[in-house]
Chains A and B, each alone.
Chain A
Amino acid sequence: MEFGAVFSHRDQTVNAVVAEIEKKITKAFEVFDRESNKTVDVREIGCIIRSLGCFPNEAEVQELLDQVNIEVEDPSGFVHLDKFLPVMTKVLLDERFQPIPEDVLLHAFESLKGYLLRQNVILCCFSGEPFTQEEMEDMLNVAVDPETNILHYRDYLPKLVID
């Protein structure tokens, strides 16, 4: 087989894959693009990245934003699709931020066992990459049993994991 032919066939496949990924990213972006002008609020970027199946933590989202070159201090900043697309395409091609398997999540809860009283859940929320007030309230409402004040993680886990 000709060397040249092998390369051109592989290029074609790679191009097709890249095109498909770019389309997927563009469509996810459009859901958040309120005015159909190819920009989204910078605060939605984390959401978009995650809805594409990635599991970054907040620091990693920030790192991506830095790559896109946006001033995050300005909360009314907008991100343009043209800048976001190449960065995100590479993320998906490199398969970064892969999903965490359920059993790993279960281990995480189990390592906290004994600390899952309501007040310690709050501590947990403020540890790591601290939750906002809203995130914490939502977790407490859904995850913590109001009568016992305990987070039963085996009951909560399916709620996190099932779409």
Chain B
Amino acid sequence: HGCSCCSLQNQSFFQAAILIQKWYRFTMARLEMRRRYSLSIFQSIEYADEQDQLQLSNFFTFMLDHCTHPDSGKDKNKSNVEILFEKPDVRKIDVPDSYYGPRLSFPLTAEDANALLHAFRNEQLLHARYVLQLLSETRRVLKEMPNITHLSTSYSKEITVCGDLHGNLDDLLLIFYKNGLPSEQNRYVFNGDFVDRGKNSMEILIILFAFLLIYPNDLHLNRGNHEDYIMNLRYGFTKEVSKKYKDHWKQILCLLRDVFSWLPLATIIDSKVLILHGGISDTTDLDFLNALERNKVRDRTDHTAVKTQHNPPSGSAEPSGSNSPPDPALEEWKQILDILWSDPRSQNGCTPNKCRGGGCYFGPDVTAKLFARYNLKMLIRSHEFKPEGYEISHDGKVITIFSASNYYEEGSNRGAYIKLNPELTPRFVQYQVSKFTRRKNLRERVGTIESAALKSLREKIYAHRSELTSAFAQYDTNGTGRISVNDWAEAMESVLQLELPWRMLRPQLVQMNPDGEVDFMSCFYDLKMGQPTKEAQPALAETLCRYRKDLEIIFNIIDKDHSGLISFEEFSQTWRLFTSHLGIEVEDDSIDKLVLSIDYNKDGHIDFNEFLEAFHVVHRLEKKPGSSQCC
């Protein structure tokens, strides 16, 4: 017999095994910690950005509504918003013979859908004319639908429910590959957030809308909080469309704004399973939701009450200081906001969702109350990133389903979808799209996620350099350039407010001397701006850095002839409005000085892309200058 039998009795073998296992588990724990805080970083930055967005969205809307703008060759009496949202005349759009993409004919058939899938797999674009026609048709069909769709499992085997896709076409194609295309025998519900962040939001919409037109009773769409043109301005969809459709992007977006507002709010299966994007609040009223005019709420800021405040009211509080009679329009807006933005939590009660700036956190008691009231058995929602693609909470009553794999970074998470059978028992299918044929091991995956997360974080740190420097200085009473780890962590949190484990992250962000003190300026060493500038005000440069992506969108809106140039005056005026809206103080001529110092004037016009490129944060240690995502 083999010696290995005897050695099992061997004490030293046993001891050696334990030792190795101890080390192994230790290493795994460290990896797990790194993975967790990387995901934490991604999530915190994402939510913080969403909050900033609220302030900015007021600005966008204000600018669009109030800036009248002299422009040669166009109707001087039209405001920017009217020009932006002109109804497209599709008949005037020619499709050249050189176009080899799909040519759609309405009413659409399964062949058209296949042609689209085939084209998108080969990275072709659908011509703008067909996009506009498709969107028009989609709007027409959606208008006929109620706010809440009722489905029954009686005649089909299973219904598939998918969550957030966020522009990840690969995930949608993978789902169709594993689960089959939508048809009368294969019904789907897509639970919102089809767009933003990923690079194929347009293609996903086209595919979903095409199937919606072909199988209107078998493919159902719920609206998500990203089906909102203000969100799209910030999170990449607007930019994607403007790059893919250089001549017609504004028309497409105009039509989409309408289409989004007509998306149904929720789906109920067998009167027992409620499916909606975000969640519920303690005031959620399904009958009220079913009766309101859903298309009146086009985006998160679409209510006069919001335009005059900075923060929207919570799920259960009255607007502060209001003595006026209840405003039905406000109630409608609030109910919709709650179902698109709320998140479940394990504590009882319903509190304002401070992370998101909209909706609320709802506890198991709120769920139970709603279920009792409407005789429901399950709530399926999306809206929150989950590493495994799904999560069950509230004692099995609430399911979160998230279908965008690798959402933050290659390897960050799986995606999943739910198969609901006629007994309404959910079955989960998980997947993960991978660029690599060899599956990366855990160490490699964590390494990738961690670098990406830290890179994002360092950029945020750089963009707040002035504030951080003064916060550090307050602790550094002797002017030594060093402070304790404790003080450093407190300073970081007070400025950035990301609720991150700063002590854990410290070795990655900043240098420490042998005495255990932090050399606080070292966190800026490896970062610099894209273009060295003779900055009159460093704080100004940082502001530009922080809001670079937003400014890009704003300038694109102003740039009506898509020349990439806007006049010096337009630029100044916009900048002034922008900073005053955000409450940022800048010297009157500071921006003028800055522009002159960069010397991007071309005959009194500015190439704003070049200008903004100067404020892109570059990591010195990177071989390629920072390649940003679609956003």
A46-B25, A127-B14 known; A51+B501 contact, CB < 8 A: no
Task: Please name the residue on chain A nearest to B345 by beta carbon.
Answer: A35
CB distance from A94 to the nearest CB of B (A): 18
Q: How far is the CA of A29 from the CA of B255 in the complex (A)?
A: 48
A28 close to B504 (CB less than 8 A):
yes
B17 close to A127 (CB less than 8 A):
yes
For the complex, is A135 an interface residue (Cβ under 8 Å from B)? Answer: yes
A20-B486, A27-B503, A50-B26 known; A124+B347 contact, CB < 8 A: no
CB distance from A102 to the nearest CB of B (A): 9
Task: Please name the residue on chain B nearest to A117 by beta carbon.
Answer: B4
B21 close to A28 (CB less than 8 A):
no
Cβ-defined partner of A37 (8 Å) among B8, B17, B347: B347
Residues of B in contact (CB 8 Å), total 39
Contacts of B16 in A (CB 8 A): 108-109, 111-112, 124
Q: How far is the CA of A159 from the CA of B8 in the complex (A)?
A: 26
A30-B501, A109-B16, A120-B4 known; A35+B346 contact, CB < 8 A: yes
The range of chain A's interface size is 35 or more
A35 close to B21 (CB less than 8 A):
no
Q: How far is the CA of A50 from the CA of B31 in the complex (A)?
A: 11
Contacts of B347 in A (CB 8 A): 35, 37
A57 close to B443 (CB less than 8 A):
no
CB distance from B135 to the nearest CB of A (A): 39
Contacts of A99 in B (CB 8 A): 26
B25 close to A50 (CB less than 8 A):
yes
A23-B486, A28-B504 known; A123+B8 contact, CB < 8 A: yes
Cβ-defined partner of A31 (8 Å) among B17, B24, B40, B346: B40
A50 close to B29 (CB less than 8 A):
yes
Q: How far is the CA of A48 from the CA of B441 in the complex (A)?
A: 22
Task: Please name the residue on chain A nearest to B25 by beta carbon.
Answer: A50
A57 close to B21 (CB less than 8 A):
yes
Within 8 A of A (CB), among B33-62: 33, 36-37, 40
A142 close to B30 (CB less than 8 A):
no
For the complex, is A90 an interface residue (Cβ under 8 Å from B)? Answer: no
Q: Mark A78-113, 1 if CB is under 8 A from B, else 0.
A: 000000000000000000000110001100110110
B18 close to A129 (CB less than 8 A):
yes
For the complex, is B562 an interface residue (Cβ under 8 Å from A)? Answer: no
Interface class of chain A by DSSP: helix
Within 8 A of B (CB), among A142-163: 142, 159-161, 163
B486 close to A31 (CB less than 8 A):
no
CB distance from A2 to the nearest CB of B (A): 29
Best-buried of B8, B23, B26 by chain A (most CB within 10 Å): B26
Cβ-defined partner of A105 (8 Å) among B19, B346, B486, B499: B19
Best-buried of B13, B15, B27, B40 by chain A (most CB within 10 Å): B13
For the complex, is A128 an interface residue (Cβ under 8 Å from B)? Answer: yes
Contacts of A20 in B (CB 8 A): 486
For the complex, is A138 an interface residue (Cβ under 8 Å from B)? Answer: yes
For the complex, is B12 an interface residue (Cβ under 8 Å from A)? Answer: yes
Contacts of A56 in B (CB 8 A): 22
A160 close to B23 (CB less than 8 A):
yes
Cβ-defined partner of A100 (8 Å) among B22, B28, B36: B22
Q: How far is the CA of A46 from the CA of B30 in the complex (A)?
A: 11
B23 close to A47 (CB less than 8 A):
no
Contacts of A104 in B (CB 8 A): 19
Contacts of B20 in A (CB 8 A): 105, 108-109, 124, 128
Q: How far is the CA of A131 from the CA of B33 in the complex (A)?
A: 20
Cβ-defined partner of B28 (8 Å) among A30, A111, A127, A135: A135
Q: How far is the CA of A139 from the CA of B549 in the complex (A)?
A: 44
A115 close to B30 (CB less than 8 A):
no
B19 close to A100 (CB less than 8 A):
yes
Contacts of A105 in B (CB 8 A): 19-20, 23
Q: How far is the CA of A142 from the CA of B32 in the complex (A)?
A: 16
Contacts of A120 in B (CB 8 A): 4
Q: How far is the CA of A51 from the CA of B35 in the complex (A)?
A: 12
B19 close to A163 (CB less than 8 A):
no
Q: How far is the CA of A160 from the CA of B443 in the complex (A)?
A: 10
Task: Please name the residue on chain A nearest to B20 by beta carbon.
Answer: A108
Interface class of chain B by DSSP: helix
For the complex, is B536 an interface residue (Cβ under 8 Å from A)? Answer: no
Contacts of B19 in A (CB 8 A): 100, 104-105, 108
Cβ-defined partner of A47 (8 Å) among B7, B29, B443: B29
Best-buried of B13, B17, B441 by chain A (most CB within 10 Å): B17
A31 close to B33 (CB less than 8 A):
yes
A128 close to B18 (CB less than 8 A):
yes
Contacts of A111 in B (CB 8 A): 12-13, 16
For the complex, is B442 an interface residue (Cβ under 8 Å from A)? Answer: yes
Contacts of A47 in B (CB 8 A): 28-29, 32-33
Contacts of B4 in A (CB 8 A): 115, 120, 123
Task: Please name the residue on chain B nearest to A60 by beta carbon.
Answer: B22
Q: How far is the CA of A51 from the CA of B26 in the complex (A)?
A: 7
A159 close to B21 (CB less than 8 A):
no
Q: How far is the CA of A111 from the CA of B19 in the complex (A)?
A: 11
B17 close to A57 (CB less than 8 A):
no
B441 close to A51 (CB less than 8 A):
no
Best-buried of A30, A49, A109, A127 by chain B (most CB within 10 Å): A127
B24 close to A135 (CB less than 8 A):
yes
Contacts of A31 in B (CB 8 A): 33, 36-37, 40, 501, 504
A24 close to B36 (CB less than 8 A):
no
Best-buried of B7, B12, B499 by chain A (most CB within 10 Å): B7
Task: Please name the residue on chain A nearest to B31 by beta carbon.
Answer: A163
Q: Mark A116-144, 1 if CB is under 8 A from B, else 0.
A: 00001001110111010001001101100
A159 close to B503 (CB less than 8 A):
no
Contacts of A128 in B (CB 8 A): 14, 17-18, 20-21
CB distance from A134 to the nearest CB of B (A): 10
CB distance from A103 to the nearest CB of B (A): 12
CB distance from A161 to the nearest CB of B (A): 8
CB distance from A31 to the nearest CB of B (A): 5
CB distance from B101 to the nearest CB of A (A): 43
CB distance from B448 to the nearest CB of A (A): 16
Within 8 A of B (CB), among A25-78: 27-28, 30-32, 35-37, 46-51, 55-58
Task: Please name the residue on chain A nearest to B17 by beta carbon.
Answer: A128
Q: How far is the CA of A160 from the CA of B195 in the complex (A)?
A: 41
Contacts of B486 in A (CB 8 A): 20, 23
10 closest cross-chain pairs (CB), A and B:
A50-B29, A128-B17, A128-B18, A51-B33, A108-B16, A108-B19, A127-B17, A47-B29, A111-B16, A124-B17
CB-defined A-B contacts under 8 Å, sample of 15: A23-B486, A24-B503, A27-B502, A28-B501, A31-B33, A31-B40, A35-B347, A47-B32, A57-B22, A105-B19, A111-B12, A111-B16, A127-B8, A128-B17, A138-B28
